[in-house]
Structure 1
Amino acid sequence: MSKPKFQTEWEEIDEEYQQLQETHKIYRQKLEELTNLQSTCSSAISKQRKCLKDLRHSLTRGAKTCDEKDLELITDIRTQIKEKENFFFDMEAYLPKRNGLYLNLVLGNVNVTLLSNQAKFAYKDEYEKFKLYMTIILMFGAITCLFFLNCRVTDEIFNFLLVWYYCTLTIRESILMSNGSRIKGWWVSHHYVSTFLSGVMLTWLRSVPAVLLPERLLVPAASTGREESAGPHSGFTTQ
């Protein structure tokens, strides 16, 4: 007697489930091994950095009293120390590390390290696409503000988009830098300043732009002039 179809399907699903459990068990073991290896590498790098720092101080003291031959050796060792420190920077790009002050304030102490080159390149590509798309959107937003020059709503929406855009840029750039991207400091600083200025524009008082427009100054001035001329002498005739 043949098995019912649903029983056959259930047995296949149950067999795949058992395989899945075994695969997940292996995954958790590998993940634990990976975590231990990351901790070991991070500790070893910290120890190496400290030893190289102490050695650099010893070389500085020794360079003052050594002869020419030893001075050449010291110079060569210093060059190798610098190469090792650069190599440590590349190694740390694949290891979890504490976030900087800005990421700690925004995200907390969350691990943002991407473990593979493919993931790093994909995130960098998303960052570039985000900049391109938002630049196009903000360009159309600026044109819209030109057509609705005296509309407070469009100005606030545009300035809110600017604040959100630059805040998001600074966060993404901080994550990229944590993953080894050599983004220039002036580029990131420019976005911090832009975030601050956009926030100032967003929270600007409603009355301030009116002061900056000459045509709006003329109406109150003319009204004030008429009130003053009609003030103390109103109702009297000159002789």
Structure 2
Amino acid sequence: MEEQAAASPDELYSEITKNYQQFRESVDQFNKSTTKCKDAISRYEELMENYTAPDEETEKNISAQKTEIEGMTYYLPKQNNLLLTLFVGDFNVVLPRKEDKIKYKLQYEKFKLFYIIGQLVFSSLNILCGPNRIVEGLLQFYLVWFYCNLTMKESILIANGSRIRTWWQVQHYLDIILYGFLLIRADGDFSLQFSLYIFYMSGCQVLQFYYQAGSLYKLRALGRATHMEVSAEGLRVKTYTDLQFLTPFFILLYIFQSYNGYMLWQLAPKARDDERWEVYVCCLLFITISLGNLFTLIHVVVLKHQIHKIVKSPELIRRNFSNSLLSSLGKEIKKQ
């Protein structure tokens, strides 16, 4: 077999310039198509603001159109939220291909699990060391870094179509502030309790991770979850049954958070004058996080219990629940 003759530099240069020109034309066409699509969606939304459907059939069609258009927007560039704007600027973070979105979501889930295990390691070291201020400082710095990264990744996921409940985003912002204040404090009275809290919280988060992975696995199998709601490798679990198993662990965690706030309130009068306000802020943050988590947990349990009753009782669906209510409950439960 004869070897293929080597191309000359001029031939390779000609091929490069030709391919680059095609690339530039494709980019220009992509930008023009994006602008046209966004303009058309804006006109549609303006029309729908004052539009009244003449009959029920038209209203159903419009509802289906809105759902489909909402899915389209997850592939179009959009304005970043405040956190992303501060850290990356007005840079487009919407991934153009579905495969890229799924890959990023899987990377996020693996990132979350890996660094939650890191929390377990650092908190264990601090408990075993006595506690030690250096190890405690490393743990708190690690927590600030982790939740900053986690919040940015979640913001990117939301821009790409993931559903993440607003409270979890707010809680992560509060966590960043809380651990930042604890990092700059030098009070050893709260050190051991804080490490025990992080150790227990990390264990609960690992359980929650596998619970969510299994729940999303089941929802996808039933066709009730989008690709952006996938999780890392999960287990086949029964959603409501697992929630019943997890609820006591998280109720205890939220009580622990409230107890942290109470202990900081007791320690505040002993703090230095220039640090006392920081202790009170940390106390308030722990209480806020605890109450927010408890309210969200109750909301989730009620929703899942309603869906569990519907699934177990077809007669209940026929007599007391419309398909639209079942659908709305299904959408709500997928946010958890």
| TM-score normalised according to structure 1 size | 0.72
Structure 2 counterpart of 1:41: 37
**Equivalents in 2 of 1:166, 1:111: separation in Å?**
22
Partner of 2:260: none
Which digits, 9 at most, give the CA deviation of each residue in 1:3-29, with x for residues without a partner? xxxxx86x5343222211100110000
Q: Take 2:62 and 2:186, find their aligned partners in 1: how far apart are those partners?
A: 56
Deviation at 1:192, TM superposition (A): 2.2
Q: How many angstroms apart in 2 are the aligned matches of 1:101 and 1:77? A: 38
Task: Tell me the distance in 1 between the aligned counterparts of 2:181 and 2:37.
Answer: 45
The equivalences for 1:69-88 within 5 A come to 73=55, 75-88=56-69
Question: Within 5 A, what are the aligned runs for 1:75-114?
Answer: 75-114=56-95
Q: Distance in 2 between the 1:133 and 1:107 partners?
A: 24
Unmatched 5+ residue regions in structure 2?
A: 192-262, 271-336
**Cα distance change on mapping 1:158 and 1:106 into 2, 3 Å:** same
1:112: how far off? 0.6
For 2:104, the equivalent position in structure 1 comes to 123
Identity among equivalent positions (%) equals: 30
What one-letter code is carried by the residue in structure 2 that aligns with 1:49? E
> Which residue is 1:155 aligned to?
136
Distance 1:106 1:142 in 2: 28
| 1:99 and 1:111 in contact (8 A); partners too | yes
When Rg is computed on C-alpha atoms for both structures, the one with the higher figure is 1
Deviations along 1:105-160, one digit per CA (max 9) or x if unpaired, are: 22211111100011111111110111111112111111111112332111111001
**RMSD (Å), alpha carbons:** 2.6
Query: Which residue in 1 is equivalent to 2:233?
Result: none
Q: Which residue of 1 aligns with 2:289?
A: none
Unaligned runs of 5+ in 1: 1-7, 60-69, 218-239
Q: CA deviation at 1:184?
A: 2.3
Structure 1 residue corresponding to 2:11, chosen from 9, 15, 21: 15
How big is the shift at 1:209?
Answer: 4.4
Residue 205 of structure 1 and its aligned partner are, at CA, apart by 4.0
Residues 150-229 of structure 1 correspond to what in structure 2 (within 5 A)?
Answer: 150-206=131-187, 209=190
Tell me which stretches of 4 or more aligned residues in structure 1 moved more than 6 Å. 210-214
Structure 1 residue 51, shift from structure 2 partner: 0.3
CA contact (8 A) 1:52 1:81 kept: no
Aligned residues: 192
Separation in 2, partners of 1:146, 1:194: 21
Contact 2:133-2:188 within 8 A present in 1 as well: no
Using the alignment, how far apart are the partners of 1:12 and 1:149 within structure 2? 70
1:207 is displaced (CA, Å) by 7.0
Using the TM superposition, give the Cα deviation of residue 176 of structure 1 relative to its aligned residue in structure 2, in angstroms.
0.6
* Cα pair distance change 1:35/1:155, threshold 3 Å: same
The TM-score normalised by the length of structure 2 is 0.52
> What's the CA shift string for 1:180-226, capped at 9, x where partnerless?
11222233233223222222221224376499899xx9xxxxxxxxx
